[in-house]
Amino acid sequence: MNETIESNSRVWKTVNEQEFIDKFILEKFSKELSIIKGYESSKPRAKFISKKPNGMYVLKLETDIDAVEKKGTIYLTNERQLELDFEIVETKEDLVLMKPTLLKVAEADRKSPRIGGLLGKVTAGNFLISKQDIEESKLFGVSSGVLIQDIHRKVLKSFPNSKVIVASQGSVTEEMELSFKKSKAIFVTDTNQMKSLDADGILDLRKEFEDEFLLEDKILEYKKKKISSFVIFPILIPFGPPKHFAYLTVSQELGSVNPSVLDLYKEVENTFFQRIMDSNTYTVDVRQNIVNASTHGVAIEVTDRRIREALAVKPSLTVDLNFKMQAPIRTALAVRHITNCGDYDLVGTEIVGFSGDPDGLRKYKSYLEFIQKI
């Protein structure tokens, strides 16, 4: 049975049919060294060297391990990430007899192949990360209200009747409270039928009103208000206990509101939180290993507790990439997935820019070429 699961923005396909597991071991794992998860300091590597008639495999350890667990996971990364769960049957010196139990295959191909073997050659340092404890007074203060109003005014020029209702300053309606409670936007295309836009993240308001025996009253209410269509987009604080900050809303008397307003509201939301987070950052001056890299991103072995916790708040960071014998290059990264490996997290990132250096991408690519030669 195959199943697709999602882990921190990475989508996996799980495989437990032995035929397919054998195929991946033969075509992928047996071709190169793989890494056994769960050992922070040694990063033990192993390679499949043979298959037994009973379906078990022999692994040869290339790195000494003090103690081998009864169960484990070995992973390999090239065009896509592969992880293989296994059970230990027997060990003898540097050989492990094991039984594969489950294979996980990352759904998406990588934009470009990864370059491995970078431990000791490339590190990340001077991490600019978000504070974990942002003062609530800064989030809900007057300045934040002014900020979101300013962003809204610039983005929503094509919707002059769109408004911002700051929860602590304005009148929050029953529909807004419902939007907050369900953590979904409301987009009613026809108030005569209380018909909602059929899209992900949109609340079925008709059903909610029917459940509360309010449908007829609400249809009449909007008829009296001469509102044929309306949108309510909640701005919810994305960390800490659920709290509403503001609502973006627009309505019209005839026809339906143009659905393009949703993309503009999302832009307001993203810009607002980006500004909030940017004003609540600090630098952690440590170095962390780069495990592998491609022309589009890097995988970082993050052991520092402060960085691990910060990425749970805001999945982006800016770092110095330090290539051996080269000047540091300041790089902005977006986190695409995080794999917990016990004492460290393996953080897969995508490069989104090079701070203050228009020639940054060319330099980065040349550094990648250089590091493969030493």
Confirm whether 115 is domain-assigned: no
Q: Could you tell me what percent of the chain has a pLDDT over 90?
A: 29
Residue 102 phi/psi, 5-degree rounding, is: -155, 135
Last residue of a domain, one of 253, 278, 303: 278
User: Which class for 65: exposed (0-12), middle (13-18), buried (19 or more C-beta within 10 A)?
Assistant: middle
pLDDT digits (tens, 9 = 90+) for 204-235: 999 999 988 999 999 999 999 999 999 999 98
Cα–chain center distance at 44: 27
201 shares its domain with 218: yes
pLDDT digits (tens, 9 = 90+) for 97-143: 888 888 888 766 555 567 777 888 999 999 988 776 666 555 666 67
Confirm whether 116 is domain-assigned: no
pLDDT: is 178 or 33 the higher one? 178
Domain count, the chain: 3
Q: In DSSP terms, which residues pair with 114 in a beta bridge?
A: none
Confirm whether 114 is domain-assigned: no
pLDDT digits (tens, 9 = 90+) for 169-211: 778 899 999 999 888 999 999 999 999 999 888 999 999 999 8
**Which structure tokens are listed for 190?**
């026809």
328 shares its domain with 218: no
Q: How far is CA 124 from CA 81, 89, 142, 213, 319, in A?
A: 22, 38, 37, 58, 6
Confirm whether 117 is domain-assigned: no
Q: What is the DSSP letter of 258?
A: P
184 shares its domain with 221: yes
215 shares its domain with 89: no
Confirm whether 339 is domain-assigned: yes
d(CA 150, CA 356): 26
174 shares its domain with 286: no
Helix axis angle for 260-278 and 142-155, nearest 10°, is: 140
151 shares its domain with 231: yes
248 shares its domain with 142: yes
> What's the CATH number where 175 sits?
3.30.450
Q: Residue 18 is part of which domain span?
A: 3-106
pLDDT of residue 6: 36
Mean pLDDT taken over the chain: 83
Burial 285-300 (b: 16+ CB within 10 A, else e): eeebbbbbbbeebbbb
pLDDT above 50 for 147: yes
128 shares its domain with 140: no
pLDDT of residue 247: 93
pLDDT digits (tens, 9 = 90+) for 280-323: 788 999 999 998 888 888 999 999 999 998 888 778 888 999 99
313 shares its domain with 329: yes
Provide DSSP, 159-199.
-TT-EEEETTTS---HHHHHHHHHT-BEEEEETTTTEEP-S
